Structure 1
Amino acid sequence: MIIMIAAIAENNALGKNNELVWHLPNDFKRFKSLTTNHHIIMGRKTFESFPKPLPNRVHIVITRQTDYKPEGCIVVDSMEKAIALCPENEDSYIIGGGEIYTLGMPFSDILEITKVHHTFDADAFFPKISKSEWQLVEAEENFKDEKHLYDYTYETYIRK
Structure 2
Amino acid sequence: MEFKLIAAMDKNRVIGKNNDIPWRIPNDWRHVNKTTKGHTIVMGRRNYESIGRALPDRRNIILSREKELRIEDCEIAHSINDVFNICQSEEEVFIFGGEQIYKMFMPYVTKMYITKIYHEFEGDTYFPDIDFGEWKEVSVTAGITDLKNPYTYYFQSH
TM-score normalized by the length of structure 1: 0.92
Tell me the number of residue pairs that the alignment of Structure 1 and Structure 2 aligns.
157
Deviations, residues 109-160 of structure 1 (Å, cap 9, x unaligned): 1000000101111011001231353121211122521111100000101xxx
Flag structure 2 segments of 5+ consecutive residues without an equivalent.
none
Q: CA deviation at 1:13?
A: 0.2
Stretches (4+) displaced over 6 A: none
In 1, the alpha carbon distance for the partners of 2:71 and 2:128 equals 28
In 2, the alpha carbon distance for the partners of 1:45 and 1:152 equals 25
Whether 1:69 aligns to 2:73 is no
Q: Which residue of 2 aligns with 1:92?
A: 93
- Tell me which protein shows more helix as a share of its residues: 2
Which residue identity lines up with residue 30 of structure 2 in the other structure?
A: K
What percentage of residue pairs aligned between the two structures are identical?
A: 34
Which residue identity lines up with residue 127 of structure 2 in the other structure?
A: F
Q: Partner of 1:135: helix, strand, or coil? A: coil
Q: CA deviation at 1:89?
A: 5.3
Query: Is the alpha carbon distance of 1:30 and 1:87 closer, same or farther for their aligned partners in structure 2, counting shifts above 3 Å?
Result: farther
Q: Which residues in structure 2 correspond to 1:1-160 (within 5 Å)?
A: 1-88=2-89, 90-157=91-158
Could you tell me whether the CA contact under 8 Å between 2:27 and 2:143 is conserved in 1? no
Could you tell me whether the CA contact under 8 Å between 2:14 and 2:123 is conserved in 1? yes
In 1, the alpha carbon distance for the partners of 2:89 and 2:153 equals 32
In 1, the alpha carbon distance for the partners of 2:132 and 2:29 equals 27
Flag structure 1 segments of 5+ consecutive residues without an equivalent.
none
In 2, the alpha carbon distance for the partners of 1:89 and 1:75 equals 16
In 1, the alpha carbon distance for the partners of 2:84 and 2:102 equals 13
Which residue identity lines up with residue 28 of structure 1 in the other structure?
A: W
TM-score normalized by the length of structure 2: 0.93
RMSD of aligned C-alpha atoms? 1.4
Query: Is the alpha carbon distance of 1:117 and 1:59 closer, same or farther for their aligned partners in structure 2, counting shifts above 3 Å?
Result: same
